[in-house]
Amino acid sequence: DQQVKQNSPSLSVQEGRISILNCDYTNSMFDYFLWYKKYPAEGPTFLISISSIKDKNEDGRFTVFLNKSAKHLSLHIVPSQPGDSAVYFCAASGSFQKLVFGTGTRLLVSP
Amino acid sequence: DVKVTQSSRYLVKRTGEKVFLECVQDMDHENMFWYRQDPGLGLRLIYFSYDVKMKEKGDIPEGYSVSREKKERFSLILESASTNQTSMYLCASSLVFWGTSGRISYNEQFFGPGTRLTVL
């Protein structure tokens, strides 16, 4: 049972435009959400997170929105840059330090 | 900067071989994790350890074992490698702190570069 779902395996965006990556979860006990970015042949790196007590967190070009009633979060990248091309994983946490990851969305930002 | 290193970037083994994947972190983190990443399946937790000599099964522990004899080192062992264990293996670590309600783990995990294991 996939508790964290990223329904779009890939997304293509032009440089300078907005990228929106989506993530849905089913477990209402999740209270902390993270986004990781992964380049080929490298480990994932932490990008941004949000606690369930908030509905928005912003860090530079990256903003994460959380809609608890819909069990949905999204990552907005504005403006998108070619260096943002990577696989993005959504992750959720609710119990002892275990993260549950989504299947990932491959973002391609073209010049 | 937190550094998590893995012993090999690429590894090719034969079916039935015993395989050791080593992970070392240099930031004195209590928690350490082993994941595998497969296309379309994301990252799946194999085992984790929250202290020396302590281990907990993750979501897919079958066919794997782990060892944590020292705080900085967490080893993943494939007792008898099979072709369905061909995958990217990722090690991660995270910090723990003590809050008013007890031991609390930071959610942010730091990952190593991964080991691409091929079992023939």
pLDDT tens digits, B22-42: 999 998 999 999 999 998 899
Mean pLDDT, residues A73-100: 91
Contacts of A98 in chain B (CB under 8 A): 45, 48, 58
CB contact under 8 A, A99 and B107: yes
Closest approach of chain A CAs to the CA of B106, in angstroms? 7
CA A68 from chain center: how many Å?
A: 15
Establish, for the pair of chains A and B, how many residue pairs have beta carbons separated by less than 8 Å.
58
Please report the pLDDT score of residue B102 as a whole number. Answer: 67
Q: What percent of chain A has pLDDT over 90?
A: 80
Instruction: Note the pLDDT tens digit of each residue in A92-104.
Output: 987 656 889 999 9
What percent of chain B lies above the pLDDT cut of 70?
91
- What is the predicted pLDDT for the residue at B2? 63
Contact B42 A101 (CB under 8 A): yes
Nearest chain B CA: its distance from A8 CA (Å): 11
pLDDT of residue A29: 87
Q: Report the C-alpha gap between B34 and B47 in whole angstroms.
A: 5
Answer for the pair A70, A22: CB distance below 8 angstroms, yes or no: no
Please answer yes or no on whether B105 and A97 come within 8 Å at the CB atom: yes
Confidence at B107, pLDDT banded by 50, 70, 90: confident
Lowest mean pLDDT, pick from A62-71, A86-95, B14-23, B97-106: B97-106
For residue B103, pLDDT over 70 is answered with no
Name the one residue in this structure whose structure tokens are 């034969």.
B14
Percent of chain B exceeding pLDDT 90 equals 73
Q: Which residues contact B28 (CB under 8 A, 6 or more apart)?
A: B71, B72
What pLDDT is attached to residue B67? Answer: 96
| Shortest Cα distance, chain B CAs vs residue A79, angstroms | 25
Phi–psi pair at B83, nearest 5 degrees = -65, -30
Model pLDDT, residue A21: 98
| Nearest residue in B to A103, CA atom | B42
Among chain A residues, CA nearest to B50 = A97
The answer to whether the CB atoms of A96 and B44 lie below 8 A apart is no
How much is the pLDDT for A59?
Answer: 95
A81 vs A87: CA distance, rounded Å = 14
Q: Which residue would you say has higher pLDDT here, B77 or A52?
A: B77
- Cβ distance of A99 and B110 shorter than 8 Å: no
Distance from CA of B44 to the nearest CA of A (A): 7
Mark yes or no for CB contact A101/B44 under 8 Å.
Answer: yes
